[in-house]
Amino acid sequence: MTQICYKPIGIIHSPFKSIAGVPIQPSAANGIKGHIVIDEEYTEGLADLDGFSHIYLLYHFHLSKSYNLKVVPFLDDKKRGVFSTRAPKRPNSIGLSIVRLTAVKSNILEIENIDIIDGTPLLDIKPYVREMEGLSDYKIGWLTEYKDGMKTKNSDHRFK
């Protein structure tokens, strides 16, 4: 299959400067603060994000240079198929985290509960919209009033 190429939209900054010692997921990174510098060309796309308490970050594990199909995950002592783990060394080294969004200041996002290494290239941001255990102060911004509609509405051609 052909390659698919993306250009990072910003850089994630965190207290974690090396691979070891990083919380293995946001639920273990409670309160740890970081920020994201979004390239200014994308600032307009951050509108309305401040209504959401939590966001998905999709990012590139830039320190992972290879992969194995079986890995021993941090939580286990047995080899597991890489797709049943969150291990960074995967065929496409894309990371996914849910973090708490505390402020949006122009092209800067202030975040908490960060389990990501400093300097990580950010690929995408999506709103986190579902109730999830362990998230306090949950909010879904402008979507709040559309909760019922979400379950029945289908797409149309507007994004063609």
* Smallest distance from a copy of itself to CB 3, Å: 5
Task: Give the shortest CB-50-to-a copy of itself separation in angstroms.
Answer: 9
| Of residues 23 and 33, the one with the C-beta less far from a copy of itself | 23
Nearest to 111 by CA among 12, 10, 9: 12
Say how many residues make up the chain. Answer: 160
**Shortest separation between residue 111's beta carbon and a copy of itself, angstroms:** 13
Cα 92 to Cα 60: distance, rounded to the nearest angstrom: 9
Q: Residue 156 and residue 26: Cα distance in Å, rounded?
A: 34
- Residues between 59 and 88 that touch a copy of itself (CB under 8 A): 60, 63-64, 69-72, 74-76, 78, 80-88
Residue 129 gets which letter from DSSP? Answer: -
| CA neighbor of 26 nearest in space, from 59, 67, 65, 68 | 59
CB of 15 to a copy of itself, least distance (A): 12
- Residues 1-60 interacting with a copy of itself (rule: CB under 8 A): 1-9, 11, 19-25, 27-28, 39, 42, 44-49, 51-52, 55-56, 58, 60
- 59 token code pair: 């990012």
Neighbours of 153 (CB within 10 A): 9
Site residues for a copy of itself, 105-124, by CB under 8 A, read 121, 123-124
Cβ distance to a copy of itself smaller for residue 17 or 124: 124
Nearest alpha carbon to residue 86 among 73, 76, 98, 101:
73
Site for a copy of itself in 125-154 (CB under 8 A): 125-127, 129-134, 141-143, 146, 149-154
User: Using CB under 8 A, which residues numbered 86 to 105 contact a copy of itself?
Assistant: 86-92, 94, 96
Q: Which of 103, 150, 110 is nearest to 130 (CA)?
A: 150
Q: How far is the CB of 137 from a copy of itself (least distance, A)?
A: 16
